Structure 1
Amino acid sequence: MRTLQISEARATTQSFTDEQAAALAHLGVVLASERRWWGAADLGSGGGSVFRLTKLYGGSWRLDVGNVVGVVGLPDLTLIIEPKIGMDHFRHLLARSNGLPRVDSSPTSLEAAPDLQRLVIEWFVSELDALFRRGIVRDYVSTSERLPYVRGHVNLASTSRQWLQGKVVADCEFEDFTEDTPLNRYLATAALQARRSPWINDRMRARLAYAARELPAPRPEPLPDVDVENLPARYRHYQRPVKYAIDILSGVGRSLETGDQASGTFLFNSAAVVEDGIRIVLADGLRPLRVVKTGGRYLLPAFVSVNPDLEFGPPPFTGDVKYKIGDRSWNRQDLAQAVLFAAAYKSPHAIITDFVERDPSHRELNVGDIKVSRLRWVVGKGTGPEESERLFVDAAQDRMTAALTELSGSAQLA
């Protein structure tokens, strides 16, 4: 299978077969179908799709990808979409965020890693849904039970002891046709462990709770070894959910690298992940100062809405998270938006956060009575995400301390 690696938020020219292009176009619509998940982010794809495909002369295709990161499985092709800020920094912010992927069952093969365990849980639940629609397997299972009547084979020694004690019961060994099979219990144990994961939200926990009700209850006894590649014919449709169950019980996730681990298609709304991650990093680093997503305000009488990504306070200072690699110059559109947010909230200070490959200088600019500050997260080679976070938070603390001092001085003068 061929693997193609591209960067998000870029247009590239690629060679796709008509079948691959059709599959990619279909998945683009499916993965973009939940508007609430994508929010108001610009996918850069139009037409309600994550991807925009344009056929060019000679059979090539122009592929436009928005702010999405993930892996897409196509016929004989795996498409890996990498983050513009580098995988280490994206993975770091993803771990801090509450971002959830959109998944599809289209198969891929990725490398096992401790990261992105929530993906495996998403695929596991999706495969369980398909399994329940088809029906879980009932099978004959050897069991033993003490009964008031004879069933199957009777254990004469233990039954005789019961009779000598005046208990008219029989210790019976028999085969029961039941859903309580080892493989079904294996899936149930994985579902129980997945519900305890800190990486999932309440919606996913509810789906796992439903799965647990459809499966037999786990037992305290050790789980059996499972040969996934050689399941009996009647269990062949269990192969994919069992593979994910093994990963869940082993604590195995995935990376954005090709490998030999069964995986599915997934995409993250990278802009939303980064915004959420930056907000949580700042909230942790600036305590006790509150850092939240604002509920937005309306400018009357036209009811024009303003929705800053960040609100620091009290008092309310506003901020905007830009998922882009910046440079030394000021972007006029970003500056105008930050000033609009600050004016709407009557904030004397506004923050713009973005990313930079080098020169992490945190610059300031006065626009009338509003001071605009830039906080830069360094993503260049040689600077790891932990160091970048430390520098970013230190700069934010200095900026907020200065802003509060200036505000206090202004109040005393008034």
Structure 2
Amino acid sequence: MVEPRVEEIAEKGESFVALTASQAARLQDLRFCRVSPTADPGIWRVTDVTRIGVVAIDDVRLIVRPKTPLRSLIFMASYSGLQAEVDDASFAFEADQDLPAALASALIKGVGEATSRGLIKGYVSIEETGTVIRGRWDIARQLKVRPGIPVPVELTYDDYTEDVPENRIIKAALRALVRLEQLPRRVVDKLGPLLGLFSETSDLHATGPVMLPAETRLNAHYQPALRLARWILEATSWAHTEGASSGSAFLLNVAKVYEDFVGRVLQATLHPEGFDVDLQVSDWRLDTEGKIRMRPDIVISQHGRVVAVADTKYKVWGESDGSPPNADVYQALAYAVTAGVREVHLLYVSGDVEPRRYEIAATGTTVVAHALDVSGEPEELVTRVKRLRATLVPAMALPPDVGVDR
């Protein structure tokens, strides 16, 4: 078997890769980057990368390297808000340099910890047809399916079973990894035994984004594994809908991982203080007729009033003395005007850059740009987001006339 030729693509900036015209067209069709020809025949420029991971096209293996350290990325992907402690044992995958292998190794470890006491169980509503009454006789369904015929009987009952959404999601992610062509054998060999644990669990049937079950005391130990499973399913299913063959692509939207992590840390930090933190609010409209939709990433409220709005930007900012991109500032202003708040915050990915304030005289609004460093130990990542509380929400109690009802 011929070893694939490996080409690397940087998440930031531009990369030059050797491809045939057909391969370049197929890469462009995946719609996560811009592919353009250069003056050199067979060499293509790749820019505007929006996802990271691995793509296999014929005999070429394209690896998109993240600008975020893998260690930090895996932690952000698994963060549930219920993790009281973070220990280095969670990062036994660090020998894996590719994102798919790192996520797979982290999921294997997470599933092992989640199922160490057995699979989670719960009550599931079951509909079945039988000759012996069990549970409740569903008369409406009986009349619809077989009007006037008393036997067999349409029944509905609750069963205490392992066939619950939590197990279905994890099983689906494990199966997606088994089909992935990019994983090393030592990782694949660990997936089979884990899948065997879920033999009594039915397959997940989801046509859209995977919605995780609400976090409860009973499923808290499943949360890190569930969150990794969701990102794995997103990375595999998205690529396939864009035309990649099954198992040939693994492309993760790191911007969503970053947004989700920041939002959940703020939820865990501010909720005990009496604040509500809503993520990806979808019912905002800029115009009076409601035609211009807005979807702010993070909306912080108290007593039903909006007190702060923030938008995460998976962009490096602060490397020079330049201001944030104009489009980001315009978007922030629209959020501030709609919410009726005096400040709105842009949360960029970058290194140690002090927050910068931009006062907009015409609207009386201040746009505050922050740069969050996502390198270092997991505890450091959480602490840096928690520190945003001081600027996002004033320490003093809010008077009744601050903010706007939503």
TM-score range with shorter-chain normalisation?
0.5 to 0.7
Q: Aligned residue for 2:337?
A: 343
User: Would you say the 8 A contact 2:262–2:385 is kept in 1?
Assistant: no
1:310 deviates by 1.1
User: Which 10-residue stretch deviates more, 363-372 or 75-84?
Assistant: 363-372
Structure 1 residues 393, 54: CA separation in 2 closer, same or farther (over 3 Å shift)? same
Structure 1 residues 409, 124: CA separation in 2 closer, same or farther (over 3 Å shift)? closer
Matched, 1:286 2:278: no
Structure 1 residues 84, 188: CA separation in 2 closer, same or farther (over 3 Å shift)? closer
Matched, 1:77 2:60: yes
Please show how residues 228-377 of structure 1 align to structure 2 within 5 Å. 264-288=248-272, 289-293=275-279, 294-298=281-285, 299-301=287-289, 303-314=291-302, 315-316=305-306, 317-327=308-318, 329-331=322-324, 332-359=326-353, 361-368=354-361, 369-377=364-372
1:9 deviates by 4.7
1:65 deviates by 4.5
1:195 deviates by 7.6
1:187 deviates by 9.1
Matched, 1:55 2:37: yes
Question: 8, 14, 18: which is aligned to 2:17?
Answer: 14
User: Would you say the 8 A contact 2:74–2:103 is kept in 1?
Assistant: no
Structure 1 residues 89, 18: CA separation in 2 closer, same or farther (over 3 Å shift)? same
Q: Identical aligned pairs, as a percentage?
A: 21
CA distance in 2, matches of 1:305, 1:5: 38
Q: Aligned residue for 1:388?
A: 381
User: Would you say the 8 A contact 1:13–1:63 is kept in 2?
Assistant: yes
Which structure would you say has the larger RCO, counting Cα contacts within 8 Å and 6 or more residues apart? Answer: 1
3-state SS of 1:287 partner: helix
TM-score (norm 1): 0.53
Question: 399, 403, 406: which is aligned to 1:408?
Answer: 399
Q: Aligned residue for 1:124?
A: 175
1:109 deviates by 9.0
**Gaps in structure 1 of 5+ consecutive residues:** 29-48, 99-107, 129-184, 207-250, 255-262
1:303 deviates by 2.9
Paired letter, 2:75: H
3-state SS of 2:41 partner: coil
3-state SS of 1:357 partner: coil
CA distance in 2, matches of 1:187, 1:116: 11
User: Which 10-residue stretch deviates more, 69-78 or 295-304?
Assistant: 295-304
Structure 1 residues 366, 24: CA separation in 2 closer, same or farther (over 3 Å shift)? closer
Question: 378, 390, 400: which is aligned to 1:398?
Answer: 390
Structure 1 residues 400, 65: CA separation in 2 closer, same or farther (over 3 Å shift)? closer
Paired letter, 1:58: P
Please show how residues 203-242 of structure 1 align to structure 2 within 5 Å. none
Please provide the CA RMSD for this pair.
Answer: 4.2
> For 1:344-378, what per-residue CA distance to the aligned partner results, in whole angstroms no more than 9, with x for missing partners?
1111231211122223x233343343333333311
CA distance in 2, matches of 1:191, 1:401: 44
User: Would you say the 8 A contact 1:5–1:82 is kept in 2?
Assistant: yes
1:296 deviates by 3.3
Q: Aligned residue for 1:87?
A: 70
CA distance in 1, matches of 2:28, 2:209: 31
3-state SS of 1:71 partner: strand
Q: Aligned residue for 1:146?
A: none
Structure 1 residues 114, 403: CA separation in 2 closer, same or farther (over 3 Å shift)? same
CA distance in 1, matches of 2:100, 2:74: 19
User: Would you say the 8 A contact 1:378–1:388 is kept in 2?
Assistant: yes
> For 1:202-235, what per-residue CA distance to the aligned partner results, in whole angstroms no more than 9, with x for missing partners?
95999xxxxxxxxxxxxxxxxxxxxxxxxxxxxx
3-state SS of 2:331 partner: helix
CA distance in 2, matches of 1:186, 1:392: 38
Paired letter, 1:319: A
Q: Aligned residue for 1:35?
A: none
Paired letter, 1:307: R
CA distance in 1, matches of 2:360, 2:249: 46
Q: Aligned residue for 2:96?
A: none
> For 1:105-135, what per-residue CA distance to the aligned partner results, in whole angstroms no more than 9, with x for missing partners?
xxx995796325589944625878xxxxxxx
CA distance in 2, matches of 1:91, 1:205: 18
Please show how residues 57-206 of structure 1 align to structure 2 within 5 Å. 57-96=40-79, 110=101, 114-116=105-107, 121-122=172-173, 124-125=175-176, 189-192=196-199
Q: Aligned residue for 2:373?
A: 378
Structure 1 or 2: more helix by fraction: 1
Please show how residues 36-47 of structure 1 align to structure 2 within 5 Å. none
1:275 deviates by 1.6
3-state SS of 1:4 partner: strand
